[in-house]
């Protein structure tokens, strides 16, 4: 029953994010053509895996490129963040973002957390539980990942969105607070983590 409820909330989140793609919302309205729109193809249509070096760690991610992707046209991007002790593959299978990307024509990236078990430094955990969560600067990691992807994919910088499940939802909230210059809107499932201190500099749609 719980999984059915979570999936129902996931569908609602997908529909809400799809509406954002349709009507638009922007972190930064940029007129210049993004660098990745002139780059040679790095990722094949469909599913691909990638890795970047960040803070002396090999950080991995999965990227989904729909068939409708035009490497000369700036394209929206969704970051989908997995929950505690999950991973990028499980998040992809659970969220079903690839299906929605095919319908609406956007890119999806599934970054993977760090540590054992895998998790995100969502900045919302205190007390003894804090020992379970890494001190990795995952906000800086996501910024570095976006910088990397923007050199290899034709991404619309004004339409980059973050969503996640549980611990990933908490991380998407943190990105809305601390990376509002790069994230247009956020959405979370099974993790209503409300930051106590948040000054994004602008209103970030949730």
Q: Which residue has the higher pLDDT, 140 or 28?
A: 140
Quick one: pLDDT at residue 12?
44
| Domain contains 149 | yes
| Domain contains 54 | yes
The chain-wide mean pLDDT, for the chain, equals 85
Range of the domain at 92: 47-189
> Residue 8 — very low, low, confident or very high, per pLDDT cuts 50/70/90?
very low
| Domain contains 151 | yes
| Domain contains 78 | yes
Give 197: exposed, middle or buried? Use CB within 10 Å, 0-12, 13-18, 19+. exposed
> Residue 9 — very low, low, confident or very high, per pLDDT cuts 50/70/90?
very low
pLDDT in tens, 26-60: 565 545 788 889 878 789 899 999 999 999 899 99
The mean-pLDDT minimum among 48-57, 61-70, 127-136 falls in 127-136
Quick one: pLDDT at residue 60?
98
* Residue 149: CATH number of its domain: 3.40.50.1820
| Domain contains 35 | no
| Domain contains 88 | yes
| Domain contains 163 | yes
The answer, yes or no, to whether residue 117 has pLDDT greater than 80, is yes
Q: How many domains does the chain have?
A: 1
- Please state the length of the chain: 206
Give dist(CA 56, CA 54) in Å, integer: 5
| Domain contains 61 | yes
């Amino acid at each position: 029953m719980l999984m059915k409820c979570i999936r129902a909330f996931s569908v609602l989140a997908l529909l809400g994010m799809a509406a954002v793609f349709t009507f638009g919302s922007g972190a930064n309205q940029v007129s210049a053509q993004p660098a990745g729109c002139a780059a040679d193809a790095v990722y094949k249509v469909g599913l691909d895996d990638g890795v970047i070096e960040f803070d002396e760690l090999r950080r991995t991610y999965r990227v989904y490129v729909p068939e409708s992707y035009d490497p000369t046209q700036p394209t929206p991007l969704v970051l989908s963040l997995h929950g505690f002790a999950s991973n990028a593959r499980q998040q992809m299978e659970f969220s079903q973002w690839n299906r929605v990307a095919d319908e609406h024509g956007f890119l999806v990236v599934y970054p993977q957390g760090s540590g054992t078990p895998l998790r995100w430094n969502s900045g919302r955990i205190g007390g003894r539980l804090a020992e379970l969560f890494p001190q990795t600067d995952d906000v800086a990691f996501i910024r570095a990942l976006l910088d990397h992807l923007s050199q290899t994919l034709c991404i619309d910088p004004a339409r980059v969105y973050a969503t996640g499940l549980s611990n990933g939802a908490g991380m998407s909230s943190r990105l809305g607070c601390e990376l509002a210059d790069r994230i247009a809107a956020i959405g979370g499932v099974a993790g209503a983590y409300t930051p106590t201190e948040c000054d994004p500099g602008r209103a970030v749609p949730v």
